[in-house]
Each structure stands twice: as structure tokens, then as C-alpha cells.
Amino acid sequence: MKTDAYEAVIGLEVHAHMLTRSKLFCGCATEFGAPPNHNVCPVCMAMPGVLPVLNRHVVELAIRTGLAAHSEIAPHSVFARKSYFYPDLPKGYQISQYDEPLCRGGYIELAARQDGEPRRIRLVRIHLEEDAGKNIHAESASLVDFNRSGVPLMEIVSEPDLRSPEEAVAYLRELRGILVAVGASDGKMEEGSLRCDVNVSVRPRDATELGARTEIKNLNSFRFVEKAIVYEVNRQIEEIAAGRRIAQETHLWDPEREVTRPMRSKEFANDYRYFPEPDLPPLIVPPDLVEKIKAEMPDLPAQQREKYARDFGLTTYEVSVLLGRNDLGDYFVNVLAQGINAKTAANWIMTEVLRAVNESAQPLEKAAPQPQETGALLRMVEDSRISLNAAKSAFAAMCRSGKGAQATVAELGLAQVSDEAAIAEACDRVLAAEGAKLAEYRAGREKLYGFFVGAVMKAMGGKGNPKVVNEVLRRKLAG
Ligand code: ADP
Ligand code: MG
Ligand code: ZN
């Protein structure tokens, strides 16, 4: 950030595609990647005379999310029409919720950073709405794919409580973790399952009122969220420093040039002519449904982190890395299942496995061996059958070849030699060749011990089991 005289104020509106098989108001499938206009029907194509029917599962997922976020679940909420014209919105309005959303208030707690206290980011609301279709601009024509039309979305709106780009990303990660944990979303930002509008303003550090904000639309990666906020905060500070005012605008992020660009002046609620949806009755949530969902709540990320720290004796940092991606936790547990010490497994995953993932830019299951094989490899280290260095070479080879631990260790001839006779033979060779040093050692230069260990290891191509080498060598040196 360019200056300490100003502070950033950030509020996020997150749109999450919900993990349901069917759409919000009809039975069409929600699958990603179907051929254009494959999953459509008269309801989601807005034919005259059709009526929406609310998907019950969607409501339950939203309630779960609301409970996880400490929101109040409204016993009575209302769907509303949000009117605007766009070719991908065939009804001319989107069914959403307006002044009576399903979940109200609440907060998401961010784990404390090294120094500070945990931070609570308050929520304004969580509401349900339908997605629009997708415009495809081809060379000679513009086309519309309605597969996405009517897919259920949950919008999670935060209060402007976030104070830095890093904090905004931490919030988004925590929120994604919660959505995945309760089964409300798959959290795949790269497939557009989570999209985020970022509201940014700046103000003098001692101010109590909020500054004018811009809204950056539709960011679909953590990196873009962070970069867009950094850019926008700096831009606003420069504008204000130059004596200009911040216009209330909607911006787009340009990932190529890494700048935000104004798209339109900001729309306001009354531009949308919201009114209650006459085709749907108010959504009534009976208290016993909330109680039932409460009783079935899965572990949330914060609870999972606590459990990992407690059960496996890991540090906060180790836990945050293992649970920071939604695939490493399972990987870790499956490595442990091979009887591996938790610290050893965690260290290995944080260094070797993550390195393999980062270097290959592939998902975990392609970049690294199956956790069972990684576990088998670490087992060999723990049983002194291979050295730690040999395990590192074997692991790198396994990542490339996809072969198992046993086969790789055999193929590369990495197995450690523990056979006493073979080690004794190597010791004899070394002592015979180094008569002068042996005499010095026996005369009291005990410092030479390390030299002999090194020489025996070298004679064995680095594969001697250090424990056995030490035992045999001490015996031989004693004469
Ligand atoms: P809209 O739908 O018009 O964007 P809302 O009033 O619901 O409007 O606000 C949307 C988001 O903007 C919320 O996440 C809120 O926290 C955030 N926000 C509101 N005022 C500011 C501000 N001055 N600076 C930063 N964020 C803000
Ligand atoms: Mg908005
Ligand atoms: Zn449909």
C-alpha cells in the first residue's frame, strides 16, 4: 500500500454456485460443461405461462451455510424480481431475494495471524438467487447458452469490515472452506463456482465515515482479488491525494494489463425495480427444520484445524498448510494410514509433495504419487531400509513415472544395505587402505572417526545403513 495515512475498506459479495443436481426452480441438470442449451426446459427458458417451483435441497444447503456463519435463519423470507434487460436473461428479471433474505447477519472468524487476535468479519446477509445464461460472442453472431440459466446461486454479502487485500483473501479462503465443508459448493473458482464482487474504498486512517466506493465485478481467483484490490486502493489514494473525488462506479479487472477499468456508473437498487415475486409464496422455514439441520452439521474448517492440531500434534502453521487446500488433508490422512509418524508425514507433504505440485502445475492426484505409495516410501525410511536422501530421489522418480515405492527403490538400487557381513567387508577394505590413519586413530586421534564413517559410506555407494555401519566400524576400530 502506498501510504500509511489512508486505510482500505473492503466488502465482498460472493456468488457461489450450489452443489445441487437440479436448478433452483425447475428439474433441469446443473452439470458443468454440457453442450450448449442441453439442460433447458420451458421454465428456465422463460416460456409464457410457466411457474417456478422452489428446490428444497437448495434451501437446506443455504440454511447449513447460514448456521455455519452464525447467521439468523429467517423463518419468513421472500423472493423478489430484480428487473434488467440482457439477452442471457430471458424473463427480463432475475428471481432473487431483496429486503427479506433467508439468512441475516452473522460473521466469519479469521484465524489469528502470528501477532493478533482472531478477526470477525460480519455478514450482512446470505440470499438465494438464480444465475443467468451465458452470451457467447462468435465472429458473425452472438449466441446464448441457457444451460446456466436458473442454476442456484447463494450470494454472501460481507459488511465493509475487511482492511487489506490479504485479509480479503483470507476471508474468501475461509468462506470457501466453509462452503465446501457444508457441501453447499465445490468451491472451484477456476470453473466459476465462486465469483466475487469486490467493493473498495479508502479513507484517512482517523476517519469514522466510509469513503465512496468502487465495485470490481466478477473476480474468479484469489490472485485476481488480491491484485485488483491493491491496484484499486493505490489508484484511489492517488486520486484523493490529487484532490479529485472517487466516483461511485462499477469497474472491471483487466487481467492482461493488471488494472481496473470503469465499466459503468454504479447502479442503485431502485434501478432494478425490485418487487416481491408473485409466482412464489413466501419461503417459510419451520424451526424444527433448522434444528434438524443443526443436529447434522458437519465439522467446519475451524473445528477441523483444532482437531488436526490436537490429534496429530501439529503446529498452527502446519495445519494451515495441510488444510489450506481441500486435497491435502485427505492425502495426509492416507499417508498416516501406512503407520507413518504425523510430523514426518506433514513435513514430507509440505516440502516434497507441494514442490511436486508446484513444479508440475497439475492437480495433486496427477502431480504426486498416491498417498499409499508415499506412505510406503516413508515406511522404508522409518524401517531404515532406505536413507532420507534416497527417499527424496525415489519420490522425484515416482512423480515422473507414476510407479510405486517398492518398484522405484528396487529399480534405482536405492535400498540401504544393513547386512553386517557386507558392511564388515567394506570396513576391512577401508582400514586396510588407510593404515596410517588407523594407526593415528588408535594412538588417540579420535577425531578421525568421522573420516572412517565417510570412507565406509563412500565405499558402499552411500547405501550403508548408518546404524549398522557405526556398530561394525566401532568394533573394528577398537581392533
Ligand atoms: P450493492 O448491491 O449496491 O453493491 P450493498 O449496499 O449491498 O450494495 O453493498 C455491497 C457491498 O459493498 C457490501 O459487501 C458492503 O460491505 C460493501 N460496501 C458498502 N459500502 C462500502 C464502502 N464505503 N467501502 C467498501 N465497501 C463497501
Ligand atoms: Mg454489489
Ligand atoms: Zn429448466
Asked whether residue 114 carries a pLDDT value surpassing 70, the answer given is no
More confident residue, 264 or 420: 420
pLDDT at 397 over 90: yes
CA-nearest of 110, 158, 225 to 13 is: 158
Looking at 36-113, list the stretches that DSSP marks H as alpha helix, in order from N- to C-terminal side: 56-68
Helix (H, G, I), strand (E, B) or coil at 78: coil
Query: Would you give the DSSP letter of residue 285?
Result: -
Q: Is 198 helix (H, G, I), strand (E, B) or coil?
A: strand
pLDDT, the chain, mean: 93
* pLDDT given at position 230: 97
DSSP structural state of residue 417: B
Confidence of residue 383 (pLDDT cuts 50, 70, 90): confident
pTM value is 0.80
> Which stretches within 70-164 are classed as H helix?
none
Q: For 163-222, what is each residue's pLDDT tens digit?
A: 999 999 999 999 999 999 999 999 988 888 999 999 999 999 999 999 999 999 989 999
Ligand 1 binding site (Cβ under 6 Å of any ligand atom): 9-13, 157-160, 199-201, 210-211, 213, 215
Q: What is the pLDDT of residue 3?
A: 65
* Gap between the terminal Cα atoms of the chain: 70
Looking at residue 112, what is its pLDDT?
A: 72
Helix or strand run (H / E) with residue 450: helix 449-459
Cα 471 to Cα 282: distance, rounded to the nearest angstrom: 80
- Considering every ligand atom, which ligand is closest to the CA of 216? 2
pLDDT tens digits, residue range 340-361?
A: 999 999 999 999 999 999 999 8
Q: Tell me how far the alpha carbon of residue 200 lies from the centroid of ligand 1, in angstroms.
A: 8
Residue 2: pLDDT above 60?
A: no
pLDDT at 264: 74
Q: How far is the CA of 86 from the centre of ligand 2 (A)?
A: 18
205-231 per-position pLDDT tens digit: 999 999 999 999 989 999 999 999 999
Question: For a substitution probing ligand 1, which of 13, 161, 195, 209 has the most ligand atoms within 8 Å of its CB?
Answer: 13
**CA of 199, closest atom in ligand 1:** 26
Pick the atom of ligand 1 nearest to 157's CA: 14
Rounded to the nearest angstrom, the distance between the alpha carbon of 242 and the centre of ligand 2 is: 27
Cα–Cα distances (Å) from 317 to 9, 39, 111, 331, 346, in that order, read 27, 44, 11, 17, 11
> CA separation (Å) from 463 to 199, 418, 419, 426?
60, 9, 11, 12
The domain segmentation of the chain, as residue ranges, is: 3-291, 299-412, 420-478
CATH of range 420-478; options 1.10.10, 3.30.1360, 2.120.10, 2.40.50: 1.10.10
Residue 192: what pLDDT? Answer: 87
pLDDT value, residue 184: 97
Q: Over 90: is that where the pLDDT of 337 sits? A: yes
State yes or no: pLDDT of 364 exceeds 80: yes
Helices 371-382, 388-401: axis angle to 10 degrees equals 160
For strands 249-254 and 214-219, give the pairing. parallel
Which of 199, 219, 233 gets mutated to test ligand 1 (max ligand atoms within 8 A of its CB)?
199
Between these two residues, 24 and 115, which has the higher pLDDT value? 24
More confident residue, 113 or 63: 63
Contact 427, 468 (CB under 8 A): no
Q: Using CA atoms, how far apart are residues 335 and 374, in angstroms rounded to an integer?
A: 6
What pLDDT, on the 0 to 100 scale, is given for residue 361?
Answer: 84
Cell of 377: 516410501
What SS3 state is found at 14? strand
Q: How far is the CA of 238 from the centre of ligand 1 (A)?
A: 22
Residues 265 and 234 sit within 8 Å (Cβ to Cβ): no
Strand-pairing partners, residue 163, are none
Grid coordinates belonging to 146 = 441457457
Tens-digit pLDDT profile for residues 38-62: 999 999 999 999 999 999 999 999 9
Across 28-42, 91-105, 237-251, 458-472, least confident range: 458-472
Cβ–Cβ under 8 Å, residues 40 and 146: yes
∠ at Cα 315 (182, 165), nearest 5°? 60
Distance (Å, whole) CA 435 – CA 182? 71
Task: Check pLDDT > 90 for residue 118.
Answer: no
Q: Which residue has the CA at smallest separation from atom 5 of ligand 1?
A: 157
- Region 150-171: what's the mean pLDDT? 97
- CA of residue 11 to ligand 1 center, whole Å: 6
How high is the pLDDT of residue 371?
A: 97
CA of 359 to the centre of ligand 1 (A): 39
pLDDT higher than threshold 70 for residue 115: no
Return the ligand 1 atom nearest residue 211 CA.
Answer: 23
Rounded CA gap, 344 and 239, in Å? 52
Rounded percentage of the chain residues whose pLDDT exceeds 90: 82
